């Protein structure tokens, strides 16, 4: 199989031509660097995304703390992750990197805070 | 009025200001002060909760708030002073700032000033879209602020005008938070945002992107009820018969950023009509000696990493100016040639290597970026793809520069 894809590893966004069979990526043309290979392979066989969102924080200086999955999750599970996050609330203080939910939905990724939120009384 | 003195004053506590004040301090400026009008450092990064920041300077992809925290930590490590909730009201060519906070008004006399005020968004008023003025018309950054910082959902059925990066990012965010994004309309024949955002924010969610299309009318009283979309021709004239009504309760605009240069103008800083930012040399010094400019107030960037690099250089220059009272002159002019919208810096000293930033006029495949000096090619590099959305950065060593005269930069076959 052959197709055109956009590499999203970095902001350059190379428009590449890729060739693959049932099991493996065979060729990547027109990529500016080698990083395109693993990305394109994953886009074809197992597309994944980092999900970022925010959850309410109780007793914090601002009402929300931003969060992310600490590794990419399957693209088709993004909405499930969001649904699951809708039930989550955290207590201030929060630090960058704090685990908010461990191993969310058994996908192997933790939800971690990406912002420092001070506690206010 | 009470007056204090500093070596380097930096206006704006976003990514540019954070990097500038820290590098000024680390370069030896003793009394530095970062002035931020918000109640938090970090600027727009605080609401940019998506990832993709840091790939150039940190070698990893992190979110906006994480990126901000790294540079806030660096600032604190360097023991650079900052003040929050403080607005700069005036700046003179003599580098005297008038600032206002809850404590009242005061003056700050600075040895050097770094302008790092960033941008604000272009609004409906600037576009002049016809129709009534219902609630439900927002700019993308406002939607981002409401959703990511204040926990306020702005609407359920959204049309987006303009394909700027923040608009694309918010298309995904709105979708993941349960809204239906009907489409993104872009007046240009190509997307304004980065390719990766078109893929990850629109294609991933099946959101249609209509190119050469704009909104010609907003409908609704009280609240937006819909918009009229129309296709445009080569000179942006509306194609007759192409109009159609799209129902929605929200229109989100992502139609460009305007550098916030009001203070720069007060200080007499010369601005470029192309970028809306200051005209600077390779020290990032403006037309007013001792006043420097960097980040989005200088020219709109597509990635924050380059803002950081630029601001660090501007901060070093400001520290050097504050100590020495002057910088070497910049006699070599740099001019955009064929296929180039603008190139920075506008003039260079030739003393040191220079990292040039430029933008192409139109998206094209397989081009060359060519630097010429007095007719001779001094650097030529191949680009697989150029696009106005994507800033091109080229570093030239000092031994490539002429002693004087002119350098032109072209994007050609």
C-alpha triplet B223, B228, B233: angle, nearest 5°: 150
Structure confidence at residue B194 (pLDDT): 84
B351 touches chain A (CB under 8 A): no
Note whether B145 and B47 are within 8 A (CB).
Answer: yes
CA distance B62 to chain A (A): 9
What is the C-alpha to C-alpha distance for residues A120 and A102, in angstroms, rounded to an integer? 26
B381 touches chain A (CB under 8 A): no
Same domain, B298 and B360: no
Same domain, B152 and B300: no
- B151 and A54 within 8 Å at the Cβ level: the answer is yes
| Helix pair B165-176, B140-149: axis angle to 10 deg | 40
C-alpha triplet B205, B211, B216: angle, nearest 5°: 105
What is the C-alpha to C-alpha distance for residues A19 and A39, in angstroms, rounded to an integer? 14
Same domain, B144 and B112: no
Lookup: tokens for B376: 């001779």
Q: Which of B217, B238, B255 is the last residue of a domain?
A: B255
Could you report the predicted ipTM of this complex, rounded to two decimals? Answer: 0.90
Same domain, B304 and B342: no
Same domain, B196 and B280: no
Note whether B274 and B300 are within 8 A (CB).
Answer: no
Q: Which residues of B touch A85 (CB under 8 A)?
A: none
Structure confidence at residue A11 (pLDDT): 65
Count how many pairs of residues, chain A against chain B, have C-beta atoms within 8 Å. Answer: 87
CA distance A101 to chain B (A): 17
Nearest CA in chain A to B383: A32
B76 touches chain A (CB under 8 A): no
What is the C-alpha to C-alpha distance for residues B315 and A79, in angstroms, rounded to an integer? 43
- B49 and A51 within 8 Å at the Cβ level: the answer is no
Substitution target from B68, B195, B201, B390 for chain A, most A beta carbons within 10 A: B195
Residues 6+ apart with CB under 8 A from B324: none
Same domain, B321 and B347: no
Nearest CA in chain A to B303: A11
CA distance A102 to chain B (A): 19
- B55 and A11 within 8 Å at the Cβ level: the answer is yes
Same domain, B141 and B251: yes
State the residue range of the domain holding B338: 328-413
Same domain, B228 and B149: yes
Structure confidence at residue A91 (pLDDT): 96
C-alpha triplet B288, B293, B299: angle, nearest 5°: 125
- Rg, Å, chain A Cα set: 18
Q: What is the CATH number of the domain that holds B357?
A: 2.60.40
At residue A37, the 3 state secondary structure works out as: helix
Nearest CA in chain B to A52: B50
Nearest CA in chain B to A32: B384
Range with the poorest average pLDDT among A66-70, A98-102, B1-5: B1-5
Q: Which of B255, B288, B319 is the last residue of a domain?
A: B255
Q: What is the CATH number of the domain that holds B33?
A: 3.50.50.60
Same domain, B371 and B393: yes
- Do β-strands B364-373 and B347-348 pair in parallel, antiparallel, or remain unpaired? unpaired
| Closest Cβ opposite residue A11 in set B50, B204, B303 | B303
A118 touches chain B (CB under 8 A): no
Same domain, B227 and B248: yes
Same domain, B6 and B111: yes
Q: Which of B255, B278, B306 is the last residue of a domain?
A: B255
Walk along chain B (413 residues) in steps of 10 and give the mean pLDDT of each run: 95 98 97 97 97 89 96 98 98 98 96 98 91 96 96 96 93 96 95 88 96 96 97 88 96 95 98 96 97 97 94 98 95 94 95 93 89 90 85 90 88 91
Number of domains chain B contains = 3
Same domain, B114 and B129: no
- B56 and A10 within 8 Å at the Cβ level: the answer is yes
- B65 and A66 within 8 Å at the Cβ level: the answer is yes
């Amino acid at each position: 199989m052959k197709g055109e894809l956009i590499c999203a590893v970095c902001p350059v966004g190379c428009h590449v031509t890729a060739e693959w069979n049932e099991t493996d990526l065979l060729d990547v043309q027109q990529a500016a660097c080698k990083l395109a290979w693993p990305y394109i392979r994953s886009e074809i066989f197992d597309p994944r995304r980092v999900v970022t969102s925010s959850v309410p924080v109780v007793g914090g200086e601002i009402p929300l703390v931003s969060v992310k999955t600490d590794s990419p999750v399957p693209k088709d599970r993004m909405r499930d992750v969001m649904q699951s996050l809708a039930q989550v609330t955290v207590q201030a203080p929060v630090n960058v990197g704090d685990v908010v939910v461990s191993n969310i939905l058994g996908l192997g990724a933790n939800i971690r805070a990406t912002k420092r939120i001070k506690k206010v009384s | 009025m009470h007056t204090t003195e500093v070596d380097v004053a930096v206006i704006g506590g976003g990514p540019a200001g954070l990097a500038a004040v820290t590098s000024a301090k680390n370069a030896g400026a003793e009394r530095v002060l970062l002035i931020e009008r918000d109640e938090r450092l970090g600027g727009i990064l605080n609401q940019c909760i998506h990832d993709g920041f840091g790939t150039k300077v940190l070698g990893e992809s992190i979110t906006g708030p994480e990126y901000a925290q790294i540079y806030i930590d660096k600032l604190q490590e360097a023991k650079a002073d900052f003040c929050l909730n403080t607005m700069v009201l005036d700046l003179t060519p003599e580098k005297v700032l008038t600032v206002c906070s809850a404590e009242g008004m005061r003056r700050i006399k600075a040895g050097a000033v770094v302008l790092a005020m960033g941008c604000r968004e272009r609004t409906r008023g600037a576009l002049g879209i016809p129709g009534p003025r219902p609630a439900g018309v927002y700019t993308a950054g406002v939607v981002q602020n409401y959703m990511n910082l204040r926990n306020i959902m702005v609407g359920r059925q959204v049309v987006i005008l303009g394909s700027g990066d923040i608009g694309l990012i918010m298309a995904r965010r709105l979708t993941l938070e349960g809204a239906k994004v009907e489409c993104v309309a872009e007046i240009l024949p190509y997307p304004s945002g980065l390719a990766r955002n078109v893929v990850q924010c629109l294609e991933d969610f099946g959101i249609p992107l209509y190119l050469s299309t704009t909104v010609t009318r907003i409908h609704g009283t009280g609240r937006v009820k819909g918009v009229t979309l129309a296709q445009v021709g080569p000179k942006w004239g509306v194609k007759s018969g192409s109009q159609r009504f799209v129902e929605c309760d929200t229109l989100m605009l992502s139609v460009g950023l305007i550098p916030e240069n009001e203070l720069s103008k007060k200080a007499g800083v010369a601005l470029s009509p192309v970028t809306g930012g200051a005209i600077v040399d390779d020290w990032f010094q403006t037309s007013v000696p001792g006043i420097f400019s960097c980040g989005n107030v200088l020219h709109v960037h597509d990635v924050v990493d380059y803002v950081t690099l630029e601001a660090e250089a501007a901060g070093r220059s400001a520290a050097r100016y504050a100590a020495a009272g002057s910088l070497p002159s910049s006699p070599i002019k740099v001019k955009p040639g064929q296929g180039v919208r603008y190139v920075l810096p506008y003039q260079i000293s030739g003393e040191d290597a220079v990292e040039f930033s430029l933008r192409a006029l139109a998206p094209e495949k397989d081009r060359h970026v060519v630097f010429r000096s007095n007719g001779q090619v001094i650097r030529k590099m191949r680009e697989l793809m150029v696009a106005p959305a994507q800033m091109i950065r080229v570093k030239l060593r000092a031994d490539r520069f002429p002693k004087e005269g002119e350098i032109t930069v072209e994007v050609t076959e």
